[in-house]
Chain A
Amino acid sequence: AQSVTQLGSHVSVSEGALVLLRCNYSSSVPPYLFWYVQYPNQGLQLLLKYTTGATLVKGINGFEAEFKKSETSFHLTKPSAHMSDAAEYFCAVSERGGYQKVTFGTGTKLQVIP
């Protein structure tokens, strides 16, 4: 069985500050890991994914995440927050490939303070 834990349902950062959204996963097989972003009244947009290979993955809008197997973590970071980053972020896991069901975390709402 697979599961995802996101620490912090709400995170506030100042504009220009580092963004760090935490995600830990549980999976019985090597996982595929994803971060999705949801803007108000919109769908889920893929930010980045880890499947195999390089453990530091870069995504859209300056975000990146690092897969750490020993810590079962996949934290999302961005060096400098922008007002447009305010949204809800979901960490997700899929076993044995992207065609398998995706299990989502509970989400973290990011607030960016001017």
Chain B
Amino acid sequence: EPEVTQTPSHQVTQMGQEVILRCVPISNHLYFYWYRQILGQKVEFLVSFYNNEISEKSEIFDDQFSVERPDGSNFTLKIRSTKLEDSAMYFCASTLAGAQPQHFGDGTRLSIL
């Protein structure tokens, strides 16, 4: 069964550094998402992306965050200047459309030191 793949599985970064989290959605999917889960808390929506533009973003997704689909397969989340509170598990998801559920990757654990 096709899967959403995320790399790396664990990223350790110094505070203030830029980080890029990478995702390869399922190949025929059209809608792409990032979510995050701070340790011990619930999964929170960050941003959705469709037709090469952001379709919705949450209050968390401020100017420090950006997303990009640089080619036909990758979907990236960039955090420009990381803060301690950015430490979390980041999940990428994708879906085809309509009533189809979102498929999630295994996540990238981001640790900010």
Instruction: Give the docked Cα–Cα distance between A90 and B101 (Å).
Output: 14
Q: Are A99 and B104 in contact (CB under 8 A)?
A: no
Residues of the B chain whose Cβ atoms lie less than 8 Å from the Cβ of A46: 101, 103
In chain A, positions 59-106 with a C-beta closer than 8 Å to chain B are 90, 97-106
Count chain A residues whose beta carbon lies closer than 8 angstroms to a beta carbon of B: 23
Cβ-neighbour of A101 out of B33, B42, B100, B107 (below 8 A): B33
In chain B, positions 62-93 with a C-beta closer than 8 Å to chain A are 91, 93
Say yes or no: A44-B43 contact (C-beta < 8 A), given A36-B104, A101-B56.
yes
Q: Are B45 and A43 in contact (CB under 8 A)?
A: no
Residues of the A chain whose Cβ atoms lie less than 8 Å from the Cβ of B39: none
Q: Are B97 and A99 in contact (CB under 8 A)?
A: yes
A25 within 8 A of B: no
Q: Residue-by-residue, is B2-30 near A (CB-CB < 8 Å gives 1, otherwise 0)? A: 00101000000000000000000000001
Residues of A within 8 A of B (CB): 32, 34, 36, 42-46, 49, 51-52, 90, 97-107
Residues of B within 8 A of A (CB): 4, 6, 30-31, 33, 35, 41-45, 48, 50, 56, 58, 91, 93, 95, 97-107
